[in-house]
Structure 1
Amino acid sequence: MTEPLNILIIGLGLIGASFGKAIRAQGLNDRSVFVLGHDRSLGVADQAVALGVLDQAVTDLADLPRVDVVVLAVPVMAIGDVIDDIKPLIGSLQVLTDVGSVKGEVVRAVRARLGILPGCFVPGHPIAGAEQSGVAAARADLFDRHMHILTPLPESDPAAVQLITQLWQAIGADVVEMSVERHDEVLAATSHLPHLLAFSLVDTLARESDNREIFKYAAGGFRDFSRIAASDPTMWHDIFLTNKDATLSVLRRFQADLTMLEQAIEQGDGDLLHTVFTRAKSARDHFTQMLAERQKD
């Protein structure tokens, strides 16, 4: 009888816990899985067991049973320290992966702590999430029909890439591959900048003297735009500091366009405003259609 695939998830926030809950429910084709989990916050791993996220809580990373796959689901700037904790495991792993939103920094951290990039290492990033955080927010369907980006390295073992692809596909994700550099550029534009804008807008309005009146009358547009400002501040602090160059590049392009709109409003240039708004609506409609078609596949 085939032994179960032992998967260790380190970091039991929304993403790590949802991965555990989903893979426990689905398994891997005809092979069973056994999910272990560790979190630095006291009691979280035990809570994850009670919630059906894990099969077993791990208190001490120095005292582990056989592990085949390690999923690093901690903030990007914490990955280096975790690599130090699991160094004795790495030589026997089939897969070492992560879920961080900045791939360049993760690769740098692994290389700095190990001196090499091991063949089992396949960086990854699920394009899924919610404004809620923590193990209690875990959802087994969080990744269903959402993209999971893998950024295999020249050093990555094809067998490791195949196994981690199968794991994410088993829980409903659409797995695509991309270079580390391209990933960080794309995510700076599509995820990091929108989060920065949402955090900034909510903070600006919250510091107004009449903020209670402002928020009282905020309608759906503000609610929809500001939703992501409820995301985990520690995670996003790490993302902006570690994907600095790509984020600043897209931010500066956006600032230039915002200045153009400011001048158009000041000068009463309705034609420019209408052109920009029409172009944006067309792009958003096309994006909505793309999403709808993907959901039907």
Structure 2
Amino acid sequence: MTPERPTAPHFKRLALIGCGLMGGSFALALRQAGLVQQIAGFSASEKTRQRALQLGVIDQACNSVAEAVQDADLVLLAVPVGAMHSSFAAMRDVLQPNALLMDVGSTKCDVIAAAQAALGERLSCFVPAHPIAGKEVAGIEHAESMLYQNRRTILTPLPKTGIQRLQAAHGVWSAIGSHVSTMTPETHDATFAAVSHLPHVLAFAAVNALTAQTQGAEFLEMAGPGFKDFSRIAASDAAVWRDILSANHAEVLSQMSHFRKALEQFENALKNGDTQALEHLIQQASDVRAAWTLQAGNACNPVFET
């Protein structure tokens, strides 16, 4: 279903719903690529809207979702997954029938369900998207046009998604430097529960387990690069990850079960003094990690994933 050699479409008006890091970077990338004439932006915070205007990320600060989406031929929904339904509902009556609507949500099944419930006959405009990119800092001040360069973007088209809209979505993300893939929503959520959502839970839990100990603060003072690398994603935005984990809870719980089994193997090896089993478990993980880093596109450059 993914088109070959997509051409980048040009747009008269981008409606940016959510003027933060992800949305702002998308707007800057589109502007730098010369793919959009005007950018209208809405965020729930008036301060954020005005800051986006001052920084030149948007050309027009709008007071509502509907005002921003009016006459837009491209709409990007860059709000927390918990705010998707209300945003879809707010734009439904003004969304142009030929517009391309995309999101940047880290979960897809729940976002698609929200779109199906709220968009009505405009559902055909929607091509769900998930760019695998981000930073350890949030906010419009940190937006940059290169954020999506050499990052993967996943599209999860719906049965109603026409080939032209899919081509347009593919072309947009390719034009700003992304490597585009398609998945079913279910496969997407299962995949990212394993490679993103569970690792975030483990980082949060590891930091909490450390600091809950009586000597936790003293232990943390001694932490080196290994702990810094491992715990990096524990600095992620709490509200964003609350919504992501809640939305994809079934898949995350499934991955937690797999992790418990793997952890039990290490625990048993240590309890039994089985150094051979312990070495085998470590080597197995080391080999998988080494092979993965050699794969094309997996350079393992530092990146915050959402």
**1:160-214 CA deviation, whole Å, 9 max, x = no partner?**
1111211111110011111111101110000001001011111122222323212
**Structure 2 residue 159 is matched with structure 1 residue 154:** yes
Contact 1:117 1:155 in 2 (8 A): no
CA distance in 2, matches of 1:243, 1:215: 31
Q: Report what 1:100 is aligned to.
A: 105
- Number of aligned residues: 291
Contact 1:69 1:93 in 2 (8 A): no
**1:222-275 CA deviation, whole Å, 9 max, x = no partner?**
101111111111111111111111111111011111011111111111111111
SS in 2 for 1:164: helix
Segments of 4+ in structure 1 off by > 4 A? 291-295
- Is there any run of 5+ residues in structure 1 with no aligned partner, and where? none
Q: Report what 1:206 is aligned to.
A: 211
CA distance in 2, matches of 1:115, 1:48: 31
Contact 2:65 2:87 in 1 (8 A): no
Q: Report what 1:142 is aligned to.
A: 147
Question: Which residue identity does 1:136 align to in structure 2?
Answer: E
Q: Report what 2:276 is aligned to.
A: 271
Q: Report what 1:88 is aligned to.
A: 93
TM-score, scaled relative to structure 1: 0.92
**Structure 2 residue 65 is matched with structure 1 residue 61:** yes
Superposed displacement of residue 51, structure 1: 2.0
CA distance in 1, matches of 2:156, 2:125: 13
Contact 2:203 2:231 in 1 (8 A): yes
Residues 40 and 181 (structure 1), Cα distance of their counterparts in 2 relative to 1, 3 Å cut: same
Question: Which residue identity does 1:39 align to in structure 2?
Answer: S
**Structure 2 residue 46 is matched with structure 1 residue 38:** no
SS in 1 for 2:46: coil
CA distance in 1, matches of 2:10, 2:279: 63
Superposed displacement of residue 153, structure 1: 0.9
- Is there any run of 5+ residues in structure 2 with no aligned partner, and where? 1-8, 301-306
Q: Report what 2:227 is aligned to.
A: 222
Question: Which residue identity does 1:104 align to in structure 2?
Answer: C
SS in 2 for 1:37: strand
Alignment partner of 2:24 out of 13, 17, 40: 17
Contact 1:67 1:93 in 2 (8 A): no
Contact 2:97 2:122 in 1 (8 A): no
TM-score, scaled relative to structure 2: 0.90
Superposed displacement of residue 3, structure 1: 8.4
Question: Which residue identity does 1:58 align to in structure 2?
Answer: C
Superposed displacement of residue 4, structure 1: 4.6
Contact 1:7 1:36 in 2 (8 A): yes
CA distance in 2, matches of 1:4, 1:126: 20
CA distance in 2, matches of 1:115, 1:197: 39
Superposed displacement of residue 101, structure 1: 0.8
CA distance in 1, matches of 2:227, 2:101: 40
CA distance in 2, matches of 1:224, 1:3: 40
Contact 1:110 1:117 in 2 (8 A): no
Superposed displacement of residue 90, structure 1: 2.5
Contact 2:193 2:251 in 1 (8 A): yes
SS in 1 for 2:13: strand
Superposed displacement of residue 117, structure 1: 6.5
CA distance in 1, matches of 2:22, 2:265: 38
**Structure 2 residue 15 is matched with structure 1 residue 8:** yes
Superposed displacement of residue 115, structure 1: 4.3
CA distance in 2, matches of 1:126, 1:162: 16
CA distance in 2, matches of 1:263, 1:293: 33
Contact 2:66 2:94 in 1 (8 A): no
Residues 76 and 44 (structure 1), Cα distance of their counterparts in 2 relative to 1, 3 Å cut: same
**1:32-68 CA deviation, whole Å, 9 max, x = no partner?**
4322211111211221122232222222233344111
Residues 280 and 71 (structure 1), Cα distance of their counterparts in 2 relative to 1, 3 Å cut: same
Superposed displacement of residue 152, structure 1: 0.6
Superposed displacement of residue 293, structure 1: 6.9
Q: Report what 1:193 is aligned to.
A: 198
Q: Identity rate of aligned residues, in percent?
A: 38
Contact 1:145 1:294 in 2 (8 A): no
Mapping of 1:239-258 within 5 angstroms? 239-258=244-263
